[in-house]
Amino acid sequence: MGRPTAEAIEEDVGAGAARRALRLIRLDPAGEGTLQARLYRTLRFYIARGILAAGARLPASRVLSEDLGISRNTVTATLEQLAADGWVEARRGSGVYVSRVVVPGEHKATHHAVLRDGPDMLPFDVGPPGLDFFPLDAWRRIQARRWGAMSRSAMREGASAGYSELRRTIAEHMWIARGLPCTPDQVFITQSIRTGLDLVLRALAKPGDDVWIEDPGYFGSKALIEAAHLRPIPVPVDEQGLDVAAGRLASPGARMALVTPQCQFPTCVSLSTSRRTALLEWAKQANAWIFEDDYDAEYRFDQEASLPLAAEPGGERVIYAHSFNKSLFPALRMGFLIVPTALVETLALLRSRIDGYPSVPNQMVLCDFIEEGWLDTHLRSCRVAYRERRAVMFDEVAPRLAPWLHFEPNAAGLHVVARLEPSLDPQELVLRAREKGIELTPMAMLSEQPHRERGILLGFAGYTPSQLVRAADKLAALISQLAGSRTPY
């Protein structure tokens, strides 16, 4: 089977995200209007807000009917109405897709987030880092200096693995900051952790291979796996991280395991020592690979982060991934892989055939930024600011929401997990909060067992203490309205 086209990948990724989003829909039998009318309003809202992205393929009517617990005729009639109004389009023999054309009317300003320059930063979104204290003046000076001294030879094509000086700088930084020894040749510059994962999946797996994923876990990774025609194997996560024994039972011969060992997303737990050992032993015995996503490793609030798996005995089966998009700023689009020596040539050749190489001038600026000490300075500022913002979450935000939400303690990461009291509907809360300008991430979206997950994620990194408190007051008022006179817990 050949590799899927870019359009097919986009549609497959959209289809997976669409089904996860639609799993959250709960239609109250006693609600206002017919089931068809309520389903129509809900799907239109999801499309207008970009929750169902432009071009995404919707699940088949039979699947939607089973997931939502309503008749297939009702689903079909709703989709026909959405198509007539321009929100979706049916393609003969292919399915129903979210329209790529902006629908005129009251939702025109918000329809299809992909058409905007970028999403708004809404309080409690788990994505944005703190940008208010980034040393922008230093970045501007370095960028101006680099461009001012740019030679014409530097404007030629770059190396597929990345700018050599940046790779050397990253190798030195990783040894000092994370205790991970590597050579510059082992460093591959990417746009993000996801693009690094895509490269690795293309190089090391073939269609039909099994890949362990954490459950709950980051849905973007699963979407990439499915788009590559691989089989994601959900492996449960508990207080010790990925349950390696459960993974062995589910698929002992999996080709790869995707893990976030320092700060598991979304639970924020760390992989225990015994589990780390078990995972490395499994990879060796199964001749499998471990893709180590080391996002947020810089931010622990109780102790120093443990060594990366790639630095442990047995680390020759580990591919390490990190990103500057979270530690610096998202628009940078710069991350890196550290790969075993045996994979260097394979990945370099494949990378040259896919997107060639990353932006050379941006790599030069980043290289100088690191070498001049600004990365270390900024990370120290981040740790101070994030520690303060985390304290605000537990000391000021949590009490305001305590009647309805219980905050779970965490020792790492840039978000907190809150469990909802039984009478609250997670889907309704997420959608209503979005209308109020608050972004909540439901745990159900990140799990293969969504009905068991009644938690939400609240990010704090990208917002000042005063913004967090104001958002908490607004959220508390909304929840009080939704809960009415019901007694929490």
Residue 212 burial (10 A CB sphere; 0-12, 13-18, 19+): buried
pLDDT, one tens digit for every residue, the chain (489 residues): 444 443 444 444 445 556 666 665 656 555 556 888 878 877 877 776 667 777 788 888 888 888 788 889 999 989 988 887 778 888 877 888 888 654 333 333 333 333 344 456 789 999 899 999 999 999 999 999 999 988 888 788 888 899 999 999 999 999 999 999 999 999 999 999 999 999 999 999 999 999 999 999 987 888 889 888 999 999 999 999 999 999 999 999 999 999 999 999 999 999 999 999 999 999 999 999 999 999 888 888 877 778 999 999 989 999 999 999 999 999 999 999 999 998 999 998 898 888 888 889 999 999 999 999 999 999 999 999 999 999 999 999 999 999 899 999 988 899 999 999 988 888 788 888 988 889 999 888 888 876 667 889 999 999 999 999 999 999 999 999 888 744 443
> Under DSSP, is residue 329 helix (H, G, I), strand (E, B) or coil?
coil
Closest CA relative to residue 185, chosen from 308, 345, 310, 314: 345
Residue type, 281: E
Rg of the chain in Å (alpha carbons): 23
The whole-angstrom separation of Cα 400 and Cα 487 is 16
Cβ distance 374 to 138 under 8 Å? Answer: yes
